[in-house]
Amino acid sequence: MELNARKKAILSAIVRTYIETGEPIGSKALCSILGLGLSSATLRNEMSELGELGYLEQPHTSAGRVPTSKGYRLYVEDVMRNETVSPEMRQAIDAVLSHLTGDPEQIPAEAGERLSELTGLPVLSATVASEEATVHRVEILPMGKRTALLVLLTSDQTARSRLCRTAVNLSDALLDRFRRLCDDRVVGTPLCDLTASCLQSLVASASGSLELLPLLTCLFDMAAELSRARLSFRGESNLFSFYKQDDEVRRLLELIARRDAILSLLSELNRPVGVIFGDDTSYDALKPSSLVVASYRSGDKTIGRIGVLGPVRMSYNNLIPGVAYYAQKLSQLMSNALKDMED
């Protein structure tokens, strides 16, 4: 059933007031909040109908109404105005992200840490698996007699870098053999094909490749990481601010530790920013919560998602534009870091 303008105004007022106060809202209080000249009796009838439609609930017989997850969802998706990030939040985000530079492999987790500090809420960040990507380029930079920095760049603008230590000196001849082997046998290969059996076959067929085994193993490990999504969780101590029982926190942490469930939920986000309500999922541990999630990109490709985890009663008016702006700035940061690595 499509709600009329008056019901939407009533629902919006109840959601906003309940987010601010945490107290059920009665018809008398709603009269002064709305200022529409409606009587308490009229508002009680409207609130009763919203309750029957599943948008409001009454915690106690004599109490006022509070929003349900369905009510919050309608408010976020259909009633809430298109809010913009406040100048103060914009300035704070610019400041914390300005210090994140360098390795694109480390930036998402560090960005999650900073977002948790800004919001006082736990933050989940996830990279997108490079399922169809191929190896675009492999670079090796000697850092010492037996240490080299390996850089793997993919066709979908993602990258990994890692220090690798070997048991033999990295002579110019050895480094040249590694580069030729990568150019001939690795570049252009789908990441998902760089398996342990592929490594064994490569070593067995390439002359003198045993000396290169530590380098190749490191390279294949990076390819394996890029071919699967990674999940980072920061600010978990903030869970105790809105979960009432330690047992609830434990169950949620166990769910996050299993990774696949959360990664699957985040991957379902098909727009720049959105809200995932725990009641809409099949996971009991998420029921008291919701996630405000935004995608970040490199070029025209989504490479990850980042979001705050909080109580269903949280300030969507501030968090949605704030997280969206955060992801926008993170996109710029990641794009620059990946370009610097490729250059």
Helix extents (H) in the chain: 5-21, 27-34, 40-52, 69-74, 87-97, 107-119, 172-185, 196-205, 213-226, 246-257, 260-267, 316-342
Q: Is the pLDDT of residue 90 over 70?
A: yes
The total domain count for the chain is 3
Q: Which of 79, 112, 143 is the last residue of a domain?
A: 79
Distance of CA 329 to CAs 70, 85, 100, 253, Å? 31, 13, 11, 28
Q: Quick one: 195 and 282 in the same domain?
A: no
Question: Which residues are registered as beta bridge partners of 57?
Answer: 66
Predicted model pTM:
0.81
CB 84 within 8 A of CB 142: no
Q: Which two tokens stand for residue 262?
A: 């959360």
Domain final position from 187, 205, 226? 226
Query: Residue 216 in contact with residue 198, Cβ under 8 Å?
Result: no
Contact criterion met (CB below 8 Å) for 257 and 274: no
pLDDT tens digits, 243-271: 888 888 999 999 999 888 999 999 888 88
Rg (CA), the chain: 26
8 A C-beta contact, residue 138 and residue 152: yes
Q: How confident is the model at residue 221 (pLDDT cuts 50, 70, 90)?
A: very high
Q: What pLDDT score does 216 carry?
A: 92
Task: Quickly tell me which residue has 């037996």 as its tokens.
Answer: 146
Q: What is the pLDDT of residues 21-61, one digit of tens each?
A: 989 999 888 988 887 778 888 988 999 999 999 999 988 76
Of 226, 261, 282, which residue sits at a domain end?
226
Same domain as 152, residue 112: no
Proportion of the chain above pLDDT 90, given as a percent? 55
**pLDDT of 1 over the 70 cut:** no
pLDDT above 90: residue 105: no
Q: pLDDT (tens digit, 9 = 90+) per residue, 129-161?
A: 776 789 999 999 999 999 999 999 988 777 888
